[in-house]
Amino acid sequence: PCTVALPPCSDPSVSTQHTLVVMARTLSLCTALAIILATSFGALPRERKRAFLAECEEIHKTGENIDEILDKWLIPTTEKGKCLMECFVNKKGLIDKNANIDHSTATPHFEESFPNDPESVKKAEEALSRCDKIDLSKLDHCSKGVEILKCFRKNAKEIGLKH
């Protein structure tokens, strides 16, 4: 039997087409809601950070515990570990391919990490801006990324930014 919302059953092609349109709209709505919920509760940024670290681990093969690095804000000290972290901060957009601070890509990362929290975004920007003053000229590529990350984390703690 037909429901009130669907066209008469005498034309099955119209009924099928209408059903597909309704299903597509429902799927779009559910997808949009899932994205909103994920960003609102901070799930997306952590998963993206984890994915970035996993990609970098695949490249550098350090054997480091990715979850421990994220949860405890650890910075590995081996050469491979330093390159892992340089890769990570590059993927996050804090630094460019030459391991220099890149504010133009860092701000969108902060906005994603702290959705609906402009105060935390400002704190993160300030923490990174303070690192503009450090001299990285004598450091190798991977060490530059690590020093920027250390500087950012130190400043973030001082400012009261929660990760």
Segments making up each domain of the chain, as ranges: 11-41, 42-159
What mean pLDDT do residues 63-67 have? 94
Beta bridge partners of 95: 101
Of the chain, the end-to-end C-alpha distance in Å amounts to: 56
pLDDT of residue 83: 96
Judge whether 120 and 161 are in contact, CB under 8 Å. yes
Sign of the alpha-carbon torsion through 44, 47, 53, 58? negative
* Beta carbons within 8 Å of 92's beta carbon, 6+ residues apart: 49, 52, 106, 109
Position 42 pLDDT exceeds 80 = no
Measure the CA–CA gap between 76 and 32, rounded to whole angstroms: 37
Q: CB–CB of 125/161 below 8 Å?
A: no
Average pLDDT estimate for 86-95: 93
Report if pTM > 0.95. no
Looking at residue 133, what is its pLDDT? 93
CATH topology of domain 42-159: Recoverin; domain 1 (1.10.238)
Q: How confident is the model at residue 126 (pLDDT cuts 50, 70, 90)?
A: very high
Q: Residue 136: what pLDDT?
A: 93
